[in-house]
Amino acid sequence: MANIKEPNPEFADRIVKSGGKTLNLCYQCGTCTASCPSGRQTAFRTRKLIRKAQLGLKEDILPSDDLWMCTTCYTCVERCPRGVDITDIIMILRNFAVKEGYMADSHKKTASNMMNTGHTIPLTDEYRNLRKKLGIPEQPPTVLGNAKALEDWKKIMQITGFDKLIGGK
């Protein structure tokens, strides 16, 4: 088993090749950490995560909760003096984590709603009634209630393997 603190250049390279080409521009100034609204509330430190990514510390990054503390607000990206695409890099790392099976049950539920209904949240009677009262279609003119559109929608996720990825039907 790989040592958790042993640099893994192959993993770092995978991040760069997957869209993180600005990763190695980071010179660890910490502007990102200082700008992070999530870091005010948690132990998540953006600068550290980027350093770990540069070193390819895969086993340290992928299972961690910290990876999921970013709200994707882009404040760090706006302020980074080196133009590092921090938020994109975090999302690349999250993609890797999910591929390795690190996905919260609550996230699986959101993903499965999105896959099975076309929306991240269900349409319930309460809102159906409110829509009716407002004089707009009870069912929004989206994938909902549109059999062909829903079929296409799901087919795309069968092709991309999203259904298997999230462990859903």
Partner 1 sequence: MTDKYAFFLGCIAPLRYPGIEKATREVFKSLDVELVDLEGAGCCPAPGVIRSFDQTTWLTLAARNLALAERKGLDILTICNGCFGSLFDAAHLLHEHPEMVKEVNKILKEVGLEYTGGKIKVRHFADVLHKDVGIDKIKSKVVQPLDYKVAVHYGCHFAKPSKIKQLDDPERPTILDELVEAVGAKSVNYRDKGMCCGAGGGLRTRANDIAMKMTEEKLGNVKKSGARFIIDVCPFCHLQYDRTQKDIPGYDIPIIHLSQLYGLAFGLPKEYLGLEAHVVPVNL
| Chain contacts with partner 1 (rule: CB under 8 A) | 19, 37-38, 40-42, 65, 68-75, 77-78, 87, 90-92, 94-95, 98, 103-104, 106-107, 109-111, 114, 118-123, 127, 130-131, 133-136, 140-143, 146, 148-149, 152-153, 155-157, 159-160, 162, 165-166
The C-alpha atoms of residue 40 and residue 102 are separated, in whole angstroms, by 25
At its nearest, how many Å lie between partner 1 and the CB of residue 166? 7
Between 45 and 131, CB nearer to partner 1: 131
Between 5 and 122, CB nearer to partner 1: 122
At its nearest, how many Å lie between partner 1 and the CB of residue 62? 13
Q: Burial letters for 33-45: b for 16+ Cβ neighbours within 10 Å, e otherwise?
A: bebbeebeeeebb
What count of other Cβ atoms lies within 10 Å of the Cβ of residue 47?
19
